[in-house]
Structure 1
């Protein structure tokens, strides 16, 4: 099993660890200390070595941070985690704080009215984060002070940094050689008048060099740093234990391999201007350049947009991966339907789904810990079942089943909501509203140049009509055998990057009623050029989506009377495509189940 079900942190461990950190703060002369859920590479997922927020507080969500003062400790979480955080932290010692509604600068002003010094690890914060916080603290008497990591000082049994091997990724799967990418991005730097760019995002480095790694659970990326030079050469800073002869042969003469401890001296020896992404580069890197007098310029990581625009080979691979994964999911859905209520637990479903994905012979890892939230657990958008929380699935429950696989040709992520027994009317009505939003996004056509923030409301509108909503984005970008959450594109109010052909995004509206049930329906989509419709304006440049994911949407939860003719037609076409594309891959029992599950409305 890739997924385990052990508790990774416990609330009772928080108070003594908090006391250790406060002692270290006192020794360092600090009135506060910032503890993010981040590593030096600013990825969403962190290795066990870097899981400082979870170690200190017990909170294991994928986003959040803690501000520790001598008399207060706030754990800042967004709407996805406000139920989860209450169960995972000792609320007598840690106070959950609604973020981003409450800004950290405002919270610090309220709790340090007399001013003070707040420390932070410059490896774990970006210039944008620190500048934003300093702007909010202006005139407060509160100063931010870079320091070594105080959590690392007191974490006696901290796991060692990961040393997963770095391996080549075939150019035929990537659709472009790394030499061509280096040349293309080097020319981009020359055109901008920049001598070099610093790369710290693991998936950017993996994409650029056509390599993969295993330093982050569920994400096949290596921990490394890189400096891309305008002449197309690159210096890669990685631990020697990660590098073998096959990688050396793959990288060739254009890539110079250097140890990680050479990164700082290399930065200080650069001739500027050097391009830095203020949203992802560590503050530490900025300090190295500034101390050496190296000119720098802010600019987006040059890999982000080229990586997001998938090649034809990557799109073809993703299609194949989703058909393989959809067949595995259908086998599990057929099995699930055959079980009597009260005979399965959440862990049973998770293990069965992973086994089905493994049976494809192509699974390299799951793309994130599978979510199988039944009844009230379904209202936790990012619920992770453990042996302590494992629940028997009962008649009347809804089960939110959200998972995906890492395959050599693609990364998958799909969610289906399943009824157990007869669903209630409130559940069916909410599910149908979510479905209407999901169909609307799937059918969307829009003028080139719009971003995710311009489309996000399309999926929410049916819920808004009933004064309902969800506290997460409608969709995130997805990589190709890379991170399941990939930027810069997203379908969300925060999605400011224009959608372009080749970008893959999720489409996952939902609804969550705390203590009762959750609903989410998710497919992955790829942006493509749209043909002009009959009677349309031929001069208008439009984009649309192609659906990549195929598995039935449970008709027992649909109030068909709430769907209009276009929505019904879309769903019937989608289910026909599921039969045609997935059916031939299934065993007899699952094929019969699929035929019944995809009958026209």
Structure 2
């Protein structure tokens, strides 16, 4: 099993650990310290060593920050984690909804004149630090970089990860690393930049056509990189992570250096113009370059957009991965259909079954995130992770929400299905159908080039809004090519400002949640298609290709709530699912179940 079901956070230890941190604060002469859920690589997936927020507060969500002052401590989370934080975090920590009160606004009133707020410069980017500096200035306080005070208070902190790198074949990458480096190097030169510092693990993995194993769920290495305008590069990585095949693959144009050589390498860039990503580069690097006399040109990581625009080989890999994954999902959905009504199925059993079926493909490298498997009221916890303490037996007549994904060598998957195990709970079928309408609206969308995710996010919410419902998370996130299941820079959300471009893969996952009763979410992955003029039209429009192949629970659909185009889309989708997956199912019982699940919708 890739997934563990042990409780990760420790709610009861929070107050004692908070006191230990405050002792370190006093010794350092500061009045506050910030503890983000992140690491020096600014990625979403962090190693055990970097789980500082969880160690301190007990909160295990994938996003959040804790501000610890001498007399107050507050955990800042978004709407996805409201229920989770309430259950995991001791009352010694205030819980603050970041949508209503951003960290900077809270600090303006919580800090007192003359106080010093400390932060670890390895864990914050320039954008964050500038906002913090403004908040401290308004409060009459000072923002001060320091060594990490949680590390000083954490007696049994794990060591740094030392996972081995592997070669990602050019046939799957679609372009050799040398070609990528040369192309991006020319772009640096054209912008009068001498080099770029790369800090994101997936950027390095994509640029060098390698994959890593330092953290779970994300096949990218913990390392830093320096890409020069001539296309050469330096990879700062522990030698123990490199195998002979990886060294041969990187070749002479990629220099290998130890991680501790990064500082001196930055010092050697005096007088050069260096590109840094304002959002993701730790300010420690900026401070070192400034001290050395380098010129910093703030911009975007040069790998971000090219990595998001999947090429033909990567899109072909994604389609193959979704075919494989879809067959495993059909077998799982049939198992749920037959097992859940007996009252003998638990959430952990469902997670184990789904992972085992994916493993039977022979291509599973990891799951792409810990499976969200919520029965009944647990489905209303948006990022619920089942543990042995919370494992729940599904009661017939409840809903089961399963949000899961896989990492295959040719692609990353992420799919959510919500299923009935008997008569639907009150209001669930209506909500399910409204969520389905939103998912279909995104899948069918056409739009002119230049529009961003925020411009189409409302399409997924229109039916829910008309019904007096909504959801407190984005509609979609970017997905990598055997990389991060959450990949920037594009998204379908109110904060999605990056224009959608051909080749980008995004999720389409509206939802509806009734706390204490049920959760509903439906998710497919879609790829942005090249511009084309729709039949009868005059202007080119972008659109989406649906990648995910798995039946939707027709028993939860209220046909009268669907309009004719929506019904046509649904029937065509199910016909495609049946046609594509039936040849991959050797068991006649699976094929029969799929045929019934994909039958045209009846009135």
TM-score normalised by length of structure 1: 0.99
| Distance in 1 of aligned mates of 2:426 and 2:10 | 38
Matched residue SS, 1:593: helix
Shift of 1:530: 4.3
Shift of 1:395: 1.7
Q: Give CA deviations for 1:154-188 in whole Å, capped at 9, x if unaligned.
A: 11100110000111110010000000000000000
Shift of 1:137: 3.2
Shift of 1:80: 0.2
- Structure 2 equivalent of residue 523 of structure 1: 524
| Distance in 2 of aligned mates of 1:148 and 1:18 | 17
- Structure 2 equivalent of residue 211 of structure 1: 210
Matched residue SS, 1:447: coil
Shift of 1:515: 1.0
Note if 1:296 corresponds to 2:296: yes
Root-mean-square deviation (CA, aligned residues, Å) is 0.9
| Distance in 1 of aligned mates of 2:275 and 2:580 | 46
Shift of 1:106: 2.1
| Distance in 2 of aligned mates of 1:462 and 1:343 | 36
Shift of 1:425: 4.3
- Structure 2 equivalent of residue 12 of structure 1: 12
Note if 1:252 corresponds to 2:251: yes
- Structure 2 equivalent of residue 490 of structure 1: 491
Note if 1:469 corresponds to 2:458: no
- Structure 1 equivalent of residue 224 of structure 2: 225
- Structure 2 equivalent of residue 136 of structure 1: 135
Note if 1:386 corresponds to 2:400: no
Alignment of 1:113-512 (within 5 A): 113-270=112-269, 271-339=271-339, 340-512=341-513
Matched residue SS, 1:338: helix
- Structure 2 equivalent of residue 48 of structure 1: 48
| Distance in 1 of aligned mates of 2:172 and 2:45 | 24
Retained in 2: the 8 A contact 1:276–1:301? yes
| Distance in 2 of aligned mates of 1:74 and 1:309 | 38
Task: Could you list the structure 1 runs, at least 4 aligned residues long, displaced by more than 6 angstroms after superposition.
Answer: none
| Distance in 2 of aligned mates of 1:250 and 1:315 | 23
Q: Give CA deviations for 1:211-235 in whole Å, capped at 9, x if unaligned.
A: 0000111110000000100011001
- Structure 2 equivalent of residue 83 of structure 1: 83
Matched residue SS, 1:82: helix
- Structure 1 equivalent of residue 30 of structure 2: 30
Retained in 2: the 8 A contact 1:445–1:530? no
| Distance in 1 of aligned mates of 2:415 and 2:114 | 48
Q: Using the TM superposition, name which of 106-115 and 503-512 deviates more.
A: 106-115
Matched residue SS, 2:491: strand
Note if 1:111 corresponds to 2:115: no
Q: Give CA deviations for 1:310-367 in whole Å, capped at 9, x if unaligned.
A: 1100000000000100100100101111123411000010000000000000000000
- Structure 2 equivalent of residue 600 of structure 1: 600
| Distance in 2 of aligned mates of 1:139 and 1:123 | 24
Retained in 2: the 8 A contact 1:341–1:393? no
| Distance in 2 of aligned mates of 1:570 and 1:408 | 31
Shift of 1:45: 1.1
Q: Give CA deviations for 1:136-167 in whole Å, capped at 9, x if unaligned.
A: 33332111100000000011100110000111
- Structure 2 equivalent of residue 95 of structure 1: 94
| Distance in 2 of aligned mates of 1:483 and 1:381 | 19
Change over 3 Å in CA distance of 1:425–1:514 after alignment to 2 = closer
Q: Give CA deviations for 1:180-223 in whole Å, capped at 9, x if unaligned.
A: 00000000000100000000000000000000000111110000
- Structure 1 equivalent of residue 542 of structure 2: 543
Shift of 1:589: 1.1
Q: Give CA deviations for 1:66-117 in whole Å, capped at 9, x if unaligned.
A: 00011111010000001100110111x1111111320212212322234410
| Distance in 1 of aligned mates of 2:112 and 2:27 | 22
Q: How many residues align?
A: 598
Alignment of 1:550-589 (within 5 A): 550-586=549-585, 587-589=587-589
Retained in 2: the 8 A contact 1:5–1:385? yes
Retained in 2: the 8 A contact 1:341–1:421? no
Shift of 1:513: 1.1
